[in-house]
Amino acid sequence: MILAPLAGITDLPFRNLVSSFGAGLVVSEMIASGEFLTARPGTREKAELGAQIENTSVQIAGRDAGAMSEAAKRVADMGARVIDINMGCPAKKVTGGWSGSALMQMPDHALSLIEAVVAAVDVPVTLKTRLGWDGASINAPVLASRAVQAGVQMVVIHGRTRCQFYKGRADWHAIRAVREAIDVPLIANGDIVGSGSARAALRGSGADGVMVGRGTQGAPWKLAEISAALYGTPQPDIPYGKAFSDMVSGHYEAMLGFYGEVLGNRCARKHLGWYMDRAATPRALRARVLTEKSSAEVLRLLPEALANDMQEAA
**pLDDT tens string 129-187:** 999 999 999 999 999 999 999 999 999 999 999 999 889 899 999 999 999 999 999 99
Beta carbons within 8 Å of 250's beta carbon, 6+ residues apart: 17
pLDDT value at 45 more than 50: no
Q: Could you give the percent of the chain with pLDDT greater than 90? A: 82
Beta-ladder partners of 188: 157, 210
Q: Write down the pLDDT at residue 48.
A: 64
Distance CA 15, CA 246 (A): 17
What tens digit of pLDDT does each residue of 59-73 get?
999 999 999 999 999
Distance CA 135, CA 152 (A): 25
Q: Write down the pLDDT at residue 40.
A: 66
pTM confidence score = 0.92
Catalytic residues: 89
Q: Could you give the percent of the chain with pLDDT greater than 70? A: 95
What tens digit of pLDDT does each residue of 279-307 get?
999 999 999 999 999 999 999 999 999 99
Q: Write down the pLDDT at residue 98.
A: 87
Q: Write down the pLDDT at residue 56.
A: 87
User: Which residues are annotated as part of the binding site?
Assistant: 59, 128, 158, 213-214
Distance CA 260, CA 169 (A): 38
User: Which residues are annotated as part of the binding site for FMN?
Assistant: 59, 128, 158, 213-214
